Amino acid sequence: MAESRKTTVIGFLNPNGQINVRPLGIPGTDHGQSLYQMACSHCGANYGANGSDIHHRRCPACQGGNPSTGGWSLDGGR
């Protein structure tokens, strides 16, 4: 069995330079998923992502990635 990439571990950095900052403790938009705060290592943007998407997310601000999942924002908006 292949070793897990542990994408939901705080500090995980995906190949697109997106960092898993923390679990948000709120349901995600995919079945059985939770939202995580992501931060772009290139421009510093913060956004929400389903745990199942962390491995391939691109920054919505500088890489043309999808907008923040579930409408989550750093200032508490949803």
- Give the C-alpha distances (Å, rounded to integers) separating 40 from 11, 23, 51, 63, 69: 12, 16, 16, 9, 15
Whether residue 77 lies inside any domain: the answer is no
Whether residue 56 lies inside any domain: the answer is yes
Whether residue 36 lies inside any domain: the answer is yes
Whether residue 4 lies inside any domain: the answer is no
Whether residue 64 lies inside any domain: the answer is yes
Which residue segment(s) compose the domain that 62 sits in? Answer: 18-70
Q: The whole model's pTM is what?
A: 0.90
Measure CA of the first residue to CA of the last residue in the chain; give whole Å. Answer: 38
Please write the tens of the pLDDT for every residue from 26-78. 999 999 999 999 999 999 999 999 999 999 999 999 999 999 999 999 887 66
Torsion of CA 37, 33, 17, 7, to 10 degrees: 110
Structural domain count, the chain: 1
Token duo for residue 4: 């897990």
